[in-house]
Amino acid sequence: MPSFRLHPHPSTSSTSDQHSHHHRQHTSTDADIAVGAGTSTLEIAEEELDHDQGSESVSVRTRWKDIMSDNSAVINTFIAGGLAGAASRTVVSPLERLKIILQVQASSASHGSSGQAYSGVWESLTRMWKNEGWRGFMKGNGINVVRILPYSALQFTSYGAFKSVLATWSGEEVLSTPLRLTAGAGAGIVAVAATYPLDLVRARLSVATSGMAIKSTSGGFTAEDAKLGMVGMTKKVYRTEGGIRGLYRGCWATAVGVAPYVSLNFYIYESLKSMILPSSLSPTTSEPELILRKLSCGALAGATSLIFTHPFDVLRRKLQVAGLASMSPQHNGAVDVIKWIVRTEGFWKGMYRGLVPNLIKVTPSIAVSFYTFETVRDLLAALGEE
């Protein structure tokens, strides 16, 4: 009997292989689709994340622009005030230094001053130039600018803020004279409190390098102190005169003197401006004439204010250099200083010491300050509208 061996049918085997290949191909395709779908989902997620981050970034920028826009007037005032102060003080730097030296130098050689006293404005400026050159004229101006930038910025900004608060409180559209003077006083006090240590250090540097305050053996400045810069002098005062208390020596007397000065300054300037630059002024007025009128308002305001408040400035300088034993006796506060000045020099000679160079300094300084402030503020406002 024949035997039969069973062999797979060729077509059946081929079909099975094809099916297997098709299954593998199908599985591979599903995997590719799944990977592709996952990749697509990831890309979409990344795009959404980028979009959210972009939206958040745009939102932050928008909020920042809104804040800047809402406070543009305050920001412009702050910037313009700082630049006005820096420009005005740099213009009169030699006179500023000379004023300090004349105010604090001893009235006679009996107090142990080892250097020759300065006398006369032009003679003193000539001596300063011969001894120290251009650097002598600018000595202390760096720290003066560092101090006056925030001081002037805070003064102008605070004045506007106090006026706004007082207008809301009083209900007056146009502030009365007492309220305007109050706003100016508040602005002066805020500015002094924030920047007083820099003012004290500047005064010390001006005197220490003048050739008068050396060879002291009782705790004052020495020849080495004349080489100190802003940081070095600050460290010396902090280390040897009681820390923060030493850096704020005479601050209250300064605030008492600055408050009426700033009050009068702003009040007189605004009053003069309404007369010298009235709204009825002809539109054909030339630009040079407008500039001259603006400068005149500031100059007259500064000079008038100074005449009333100069004694406070002298008192401030005396207190600031109280640690300089070679310059004057040590004092126990402002009242003691006033008594000593009146007793040894008389009221007018002592309390108005340095008035002439101070007037020569203040007149152009305040003129430049107000003019620069209004020019920069108006320029910034015009740029913000574009």
| pLDDT tens digit sequence for 332-374 | 667 777 888 888 888 888 888 878 878 888 899 999 999 999 9
Question: For position 14, what pLDDT does the model report?
Answer: 47
CB neighbours of residue 51 within 10 Å: 10
Mean pLDDT of 205-210: 68
Region for residue 16 given its phi and psi (left: phi exceeds 0; alpha: psi -120 to 50; beta: otherwise): alpha
d(CA 115, CA 15): 118
21 has pLDDT over 60: no
Does residue 32 lie in a domain region? no
d(CA 320, CA 237): 10
Does residue 269 lie in a domain region? yes
d(CA 211, CA 222): 10
Does residue 43 lie in a domain region? no
**Percent of the chain residues topping a pLDDT of 70:** 67
Residue with tokens 């702050």: 78
Contact indicator for 227, 208 with CB cutoff of 8 Å: no
41 has pLDDT over 60: no
CB neighbours of residue 75 within 10 Å: 16
Alpha helices in the chain (DSSP H): 10-70, 72-91, 93-104, 121-138, 141-170, 177-208, 230-240, 244-247, 251-276, 287-320, 334-345, 347-351, 355-385
In degrees, rounded to 5, the angle at the alpha carbon of residue 270 between the alpha carbons of residues 143 and 263 is 55
Instruction: Provide the sign of the torsion angle of the four alpha carbons 257, 258, 260, 264, taken in this order.
Output: positive
Q: What residue numbers bound the domain in which 281 lies?
A: 258-352
Band (pLDDT 50/70/90 cuts) for residue 29 is very low
Query: What domain count does the chain have?
Result: 1
Q: pLDDT tens digits for 121-159?
A: 677 777 777 777 777 777 777 777 887 899 999 999 999
Does residue 223 lie in a domain region? no
Is the pTM higher than 0.75? The answer reads no
Does residue 320 lie in a domain region? yes
16 has pLDDT over 70: no
119 has pLDDT over 70: no
Does residue 45 lie in a domain region? no
Question: What is the residue-averaged pLDDT of the chain?
Answer: 76
Question: For position 95, what pLDDT does the model report?
Answer: 78
- In terms of Cα–Cα distance, which of 359, 370, 361, 358 is closest to 297? 370
381: amino acid identity, one letter = A
d(CA 256, CA 282): 41
Contact indicator for 371, 294 with CB cutoff of 8 Å: yes
Question: For position 328, what pLDDT does the model report?
Answer: 52
Does residue 198 lie in a domain region? no
CB neighbours of residue 147 within 10 Å: 25
Does residue 189 lie in a domain region? no
